[in-house]
Each structure stands twice: as C-alpha cells, then as structure tokens.
A and B are shown apart, each in its own frame.
Chain A
Amino acid sequence: MLKARRRARLLAAALAGILSMSTLAACGDDAGDKESGKTLRLWHYEAPESAMGKAWNEAIAEFKKTHPDVKVEFEAKGFEQIQKTAPQVLNSDKAPDLLEYNKGNATTGQLSKQGLLTDLTDEAKKRGWDKTVPPTVAITSRYDKGVMGKGAWYGVPNYAEYTMVYYNKDLFTEHKVDVPTTVDELEDALATFKDAGLTPFANGGAEYIAQQYVYQLALSQADRSWVDDFQMKGKTDFSDAAWTYAAETFADWVDKGYIAKSSSGLKAEDAGVSFMQGKHPMFFSGSWWFGRFAEEVKSFDWDTFMWPGSKLTLGSGGNLWVVPEGAKNKELAYDFIDITMKKQAQNTLGNAGGVPVAADSSAITDERAKKLIEQFDTLAGNDGLAFYPDWPANGFYDSLASEVQKLITQSAGPGDVLKSLQSEYDENVLKE
C-alpha cells in the first residue's frame, strides 16, 4: 500500500515536472518566431503527392535558393482545420505569413470583409499577376465588401478547376461506341451501354456529384447572362427552359437506368472508386480527380471529353494564396507567390495532372495532361466557367443535394423539385 502510494506520488511529480517544462519550452519558442525578415511561415492543405503539393514543394526549394538566409517553416494542414479555425488564427499573433485558403464569399470574402487579409491589388499589378490570371479565373480572387467578382485582389490562384466526362476507353472500344460530340450521340451511347447491361454514368447522390450533372444539363441550354443572373445577381427562374430541361432530362435518365437509382446514398468517393473499378463507362466530375486517376487506374485506358453541345461547364479558379493582415513577413510571402506563378512551377503543376493558370502547354509532356490544359485554355478563352450551383445561396449545397436525391429515388417529379429549389434559393440567396 505504502509502496503503491509512493509510486503514485512519483508519477504525479514526474507529470507535473514534464508539464511545467513543456510550458516553459513553448514560451521559449515564441521569442524566436517574432524575428522578422528571417522566416517564412507557410501553410497549405494539399497532399504532398497531388499536383499542387508537388509544384509547391518545388517552389519551396526554389525560394530557398533565391533567399538563402531565410528559413521556411512549412506546416501541412487539413482542409477542415483551416476551414474551421482560420478566422481565429488570423486574428491572433499565431497567423502564418502565407496560407492556402478556400475561395468564395463565405470564406475569403468573409475574412476580407473583417479586415483579416492583406489587399494584394498593388502587388498583383506590380508583379503582373493580374495579367497572368485569366479574367474568368480572377473572379474568385477579387472581393468587394466580401462579395466576389470585382474590387480589390485578396488572393492569388495558382490553378483552376473545371468539369468534364471521364470515360473508360476499353469499354468504349468493346461496345463500339465513339466519343459523343452531340447530345444525340451521347444519348445513343447511353442507350448502347444500358442495353449491354452497364449503368453508363457513375453517380453519387449524397454529395456534389449528382447536382453537378443537373447543373451541367442546365448549362448546356444556357448562356453567360443566365449564369450571371443565377450566380451574381441573385435571380433565376427555376421554371425556365434550361432548368426544366435539366431536371426532366436527369429524371428521364434515372428512369431509363442511365443513372442508378441505388446511387442516391453514395458519396463522391464511392462514385470515383466505382469508375476506377471499371464498373461504369463514364463519370462526369471535376479536374480534381485527374491526378488520382492517372496514378491509380491501371486496369483500363481512360481519357476525357467535354460535355457535348455545351459552351459552359462548371469550374472556377482554384484555392487562393492569401496573406494575413497580421503576417510579419509580407514581402517574403509576395516573393513566394511570385515563384509559384512562374512558368517552372506552373509547368510542374501541369505535368502532375493539375490545371495551371499560366503554363506553357508545349512544355507539358503527358498527352492526357496536355489535353486537360488545352481544354481549359479554350474554356477560359470563351468565358466558359460557370462556377458551382451551390455558390449563390447560403446552405444551397444541402438543398440541392436533397432535392436531386428525390429525382434519383423518384420520390418527387421534376416540377416539384424545381419549385422547392426556387423557394430555397429565394430565401437564402446572397445579395450585396
């Protein structure tokens, strides 16, 4: 008994000792950090083997070469962590000098309005970023009173994203289907695969996949001013021709079995994996899958094509480099952004399966990656990026997901679904 107690006391004393030591050590660290001009503190949340991860690793090496006396403190963060804690961190003296942050009104827009981000307009002009970034991509970089589209530059994107159809070349050859160039050809292809016992499209109803099919269908019937009304001006008519076509076609495809009724509860990951397993000949989704497919699909050959008969598709600039207002080494942060905008880093990003904003497509060696970038250049040139359907209203992502789910399970008709979407949209739309 006595022995046990002595042991417990020893343990307690040891723990108390460790505790006070670690607290002291933590205080010691602080003093070193505050030295300015000597360290660049950098955060991002891309996986090291992703296109962005590779390009930025290279950029860090390049930065060390051009700034030999500067220490780079890089910390890999999780998306959720930055998403949940950025406002608190940036409002404290722990803010890094440079971080990757999600674009959009609710994120970068909100922080810029609260004065937590540095206005980058002058730097963008001085260093020519405003010329390198195409205007459609720059929409998500500029915020006026927290609303994107115009105003001052608060972030600089290195890459962009857009959606396309990924297709299984082996299955296309096996069933003698050519890559469709018109909507009719697409419908024929869908019918052929269905008759052969395959579900043509991979789909995930529980997450963003399903609503992106619907929005793409609407976009195929729409023009730029329709997009601007829906995305920027806060007014859209869900009973117009584009939305009606979208909802009815989607419902029809579910009915015909082109999209599985059982996919209503599947997540994006499930949809992607089922395509990678070769269960579906086609998968409509974003360029963010490209690198992973290139890396992991070994059992069949695949390629991509744009949605037939549509000038517009989903997409936007990628996430942004932002400089916190409280950053201690802003000049170093600008230097780093500049390196990531140079051809070298941009080409690395492109060769690794990303969509760089300013690559030299002749320097891209991989055939598929080259096509990915050329398709994007065409889109950007035609002002063809129509953003994402959940952007214009608060909580609209969930509304879209649950309404489109009803189309998949056939528990509501297209008319009812569009009606509920209209009321959700009108109630929650963001206005200046």
Chain B
Amino acid sequence: MTALKKYPVLAALVLGALFMVLPFVVVLMNAVKSPEEYSSDGPLSLPDSVYLDGLADFWERVDFGEKLWNSVLISGSVAVLAVVLSVFSAYAIGIGRIKGRPWVLAFFVLANMLPQETLVYPIYYLSKEAGLYDTRLSVIIVFTVIQSAFGTYLLSSVLSGFPREIIEAARIDGATKWQVLWRVVVPVSRPTIGVLMVLFFIWTWNEFLLPLVMLVSDDVQTVSVALGVLQGQRDMDATMTNAAALLGVLPAIAFFLLFQRTLTRGIAVGAVK
C-alpha cells in the first residue's frame, strides 16, 4: 500500500480516536478541579492543581466500596448465569433444531427490543409479591433473562452453523446429549461465549433504570444508581459529578482492558467463518 493511500485512513482514525477520547479527557480534567476553579474558569480550562477532595468526598458520601461490590456481584452473576442460560437454549434451538425455530428466534429478538420502561411496573409488582423487592437477587434474575434473550439469539445463529460431523462423530462414540454439549459444543464455541460474558458484564454494569427502581436501600445499590445521588433538583455539583463519573467508568474500562483479548479473538473467529 502506498503512503498516499495510507495517510488519509490514518488521519481519519486519529480524528475518530480523538473524538472518542475527548469526553474522557474532559471528565478527567474536571474531576481533579476544585469547585471554585470550575466556577471561575469553566469546564474546558486545564486544572491549575490536582484537587482530589471531590473524589474522596464522593467515595465517602455514597460508601463507594459497597456500591462497587454490589455492582460486581450483580454484573458478575448476571454474566455467568445469562451465558449458562443462553447456552442451554441455543443448544436446543441451534443444534437440536426444535420445531418452529424461526418463530422462537423472532420472539427472542422482539423481547430484546422491548423498552425497559414497559417492564418497570410488571417487574415491580411481581417482585413485591415474591418478596424480592429491594434485593440484589431481583435485579440479577431480571437481567439474566434480559441478557440471555440476546445471548440466545446470537449463540443460536452461531451454533446453527456448527459442523454436524463433529457432533455425529461424538454421538457414534456414545456421547449423550449432555456430554455433547459440555465436551464438544461449549469448548469449541468458547471464544463466542467469552465475548458474550464480557458484553453482559459491561451492559449490566451500565444499567440504570431498573436498578434505580428496584434497589431502594443504600446498601444494595449499584454504582450507576449511586451516581444519581449528585443530581439535585436545581443545582448540580459539576466537579463532584465528574469525579463520580470517573470512579463509575474506571472499573468498566479496567474490565474491558483485562478481557480485550477475548473480545478481539471472538470477533476474529466470526470473521473467518
């Protein structure tokens, strides 16, 4: 490839990267700015000195360690449980080829597109009846189901292209359906499953509305709900909000960096096929 062709692409990518990074830079800049400086110089000036009280105050005010633990617990449980559920149903749909497969899949896609606002009241009443209102378990159950709707859809299409020869070979060797699933299908689809798990974790981490409605008490709330505490009726504490946003987004970024390999591998696997 000639340099003439390469540089415009490179320039476009750099520009795109700048646009993606800019919001983070602004958040970072204001997170370490004192409120007085923010008021006199505005949001776009560079901070004169690093002011960490905003971060520390916010951590203390909402007991951030506890919120972090709640978020990890909920997102982690959802990621694991939703993947297990997706694998089961996708095995039935993609490999087992149950009757009315397209309809089942269409149903899952539709369910996936349902706006969460419509779910608020039914879920509220159901969980109140079941005695699960204001517990982390209720949110875990709800998001396990919501995420596995997408997971089932995605895994089913991946598994329907699964080489039948491998399954038939395993069956001839005397493997049961259960063994085929755990010894053959799951290990071969590991990259896709890994991607799903990472996505489920990050998506659940970022959820706001349902946790806001379902998690009332402070000791069960998640990070994203805790960020809302700073939004007053008419006033907002801009520097502390930035500090909070930084704290809220850091774990998700760390998680992404940690599992970056899994993500790219999963995408690459899809590309070869």
The residues of A with any CB-CB pair to B shorter than 8 Å are 1, 11-12, 15, 18-19, 22-23, 26, 29, 45-48, 50, 75-81, 84-85, 88-89, 92, 94, 102, 208, 268-269, 273, 276-278, 286, 288-289, 292, 295-299, 319
Contact = CB atoms under 8 A, between A and B. Distances in A.
A interface secondary structure, majority: helix
A79 B232 CA distance: 5
Interface string B106-143: 00000000000000000010001000011111001000
A80 B234 CA distance: 11
B50 interface: no
B228 interface: yes
Given A76-B61, A102-B233, A292-B235, A81 B40 contact: no
Given A286-B234, A292-B235, A19 B135 contact: no
B165 interface: no
A269 B42 CA distance: 11
A288 B218 contact: no
Given A23-B136, A88-B213, A45 B73 contact: no
B236 A85 contact: no
A78 B137 contact: no
A277 B40 contact: yes
Contact of A22 (B136, B228, B237, B238): B136
Contacts of A45: 229, 232-233
B45 to A, nearest CB: 10
Contact of B238 (A18, A19, A88, A269): A269
Contact of A276 (B40, B62, B137, B212): B40
A167 B213 CA distance: 42
B135 A23 contact: yes
Nearest to A298: B36
Given A15-B80, A19-B73, A19-B137, A76 B229 contact: yes
Given A75-B218, A78-B231, A268-B234, 6 more contacts: A23-B136, A47-B235, A79-B233, A89-B216, A296-B35, A299-B40
A81 B136 contact: no
Contacts of A102: 233
Interface of B: 35-36, 38-43, 61-62, 73, 76-77, 80, 124, 128, 133-137, 140, 187, 212-213, 216-220, 225, 228-238
Contacts of A298: 36, 40
Contacts of A26: 135-137, 220
B interface secondary structure, majority: helix
A47 B133 CA distance: 27
B228 A92 contact: no
B204 to A, nearest CB: 13
Contact of A80 (B61, B135, B137, B228): B228
B217 A94 contact: yes
Contacts of A273: 38-39, 42-43, 238
A15 B62 CA distance: 25
Contacts of A12: 80
A92 B77 contact: no
Nearest to A91: B128
B73 to A, nearest CB: 6
Contact of B39 (A29, A88, A276): A276
6 contacts: A47-B232, A76-B62, A79-B231, A80-B231, A277-B42, A319-B233
**Among B76, B128, B134, residue most surrounded by chain A Cβ atoms (within 10 Å):** B134
A45 B233 CA distance: 8
Contact of A78 (B216, B219, B228): B228
Given A45-B233, A288-B235, A18 B73 contact: yes
A85 B231 contact: no
